[in-house]
Amino acid sequence: MFKENYNVIGVMSGTSLDGVDLAYIAFNKKDQWTYQILHSETVAYFPEWVEQLKNAFHFSTSELEALNVSYTKLLASIIADFISKHQLVAIDAVCSHGHTILHQPHNGFTLQIGNLPLLRDLLPYTIVCDFRVQDVALGGQGAPLVPIGDELLFSEYDYCLNLGGFSNISFHENCTRMAFDISPVNTVLNYYANAMGLPYDDGGAIAKTGTIHSELLAQLNDLDFYARSYPKSLGMEFVQEIIFPLLHSFPISVPDVLATFVEHIAVQVAAVCQPNTKLLITGGGAYHSFLIDRLQQHLPSVQITIPEDKTIQFKEALIFALLGVLRLRNEINVLASVTGAQRDHSSGQIYS
């Protein structure tokens, strides 16, 4: 008989490289799952770590192995500090996503560093991690994994959109949960803000001053990925090999690039959403007011909801915490309908 209450720590590092998100969450399961985020914070990466994680896409196998060990140690230290700072005692598990370096499901491969058994040796708690590998082995995309959380925690919305390093969306179609990655978001927007010496384009202030370049926008919207049927997912390879070369081929200003790419994001999201529906938006992009304005312009009849700060900032940590709890219960936490795997399954390594 499973218990009703779980206290777990969800840990997430996204492709936007803003840091490690940690959330201490109380889950309750009676008729349905409910949650309360009790403590949360984002621990920013030191600049040298940002550079390593940015460039790890190009690392050799031996360099990646060494990075995996050092990153696992870093993650353990961050988690231990979080536990100490908030004086956490009741911890059923630490549920950690790790940080994605390579994502090539078409080659049967995905790599999230920070998920080594070493994490268990450094932290005296049950660890649940490495959620994506099993799905890829079952022929799936290994992503997106958040939709099970949308299904169980946010079912009142027709669409759940996350605007992080990439945009991803989940929704019901023919009584089945569907989901996929839509386009890059902060992986591109932050790159150009960084080029201007800023961590990000606050509220889209720079993008708002730019002019949309119609030919660049047309070429972005015409990329093969957007015509493919779902399930489908994106990784940094798509940004490095396709998006950046295309953007760099146009000799236009940074504000114009940002304005054009924001419009591209809005166009691609709008192509998914049906009119007269409810849309929940979370992730760092929810603070990009210019992007939200463009989305509302493209979706005039859609009711857009941006929740309170904790849910915006820590939704992915929240949901990976839930994935960990479901794994401990040996219940389905990955949906074949969204990843394309052979079957629904309960994924993740458990280090007791």
d(CA 269, CA 176): 20
d(CA 141, CA 110): 9
Structure tokens at 269: 């999201």
Which residue type sits at 173? E
Alpha-carbon separation of residue 178 from 71, 126, 141, 243, 310 (angstroms): 33, 31, 13, 25, 25
Would you state the pLDDT for residue 204?
A: 98
Please name which of 76, 69, 81, 77 lies closest in space to residue 119, comparing C-alpha atoms. 76
Secondary structure, 3-state, 225-266: HHHCCCCCCCCHHHHHHHHHHHHHCCCCCHHHHHHHHHHHHH
d(CA 254, CA 252): 7
Going residue by residue through the chain, which has 352 residues, state the pLDDT in tens, using 9 for 90 and above.
Answer: 689 999 999 999 987 788 999 999 999 999 899 999 999 999 999 999 999 999 998 999 999 999 999 999 999 999 999 999 999 999 999 999 999 999 899 899 999 999 999 999 999 999 999 999 999 999 999 988 999 999 999 999 999 999 999 999 999 998 899 999 999 999 999 999 999 999 999 999 999 999 999 999 999 999 999 999 988 888 889 999 999 999 999 999 999 999 999 999 999 999 999 999 999 999 899 999 999 999 999 999 999 999 999 999 899 999 999 999 999 999 999 999 989 999 999 999 999 9
Structure tokens at 7: 């206290």
**DSSP codes, 110-149:** EEEET-STHHHHHSSS-EEE--SHHHHHTTS-----THHH
- What domains appear along the chain, each with residue ranges and CATH number? 5-143+320-351 (3.30.420.40), 147-310 (3.30.420.40)
d(CA 135, CA 51): 29
Would you state the pLDDT for residue 250?
A: 98
| Strand (E) or helix (H) holding 1 | none
Would you state the pLDDT for residue 16?
A: 76
Would you state the pLDDT for residue 150?
A: 94
Which residue type sits at 191? Y
Mapped onto helix, strand or coil, the DSSP state of residue 262 is helix
Would you state the pLDDT for residue 18?
A: 86
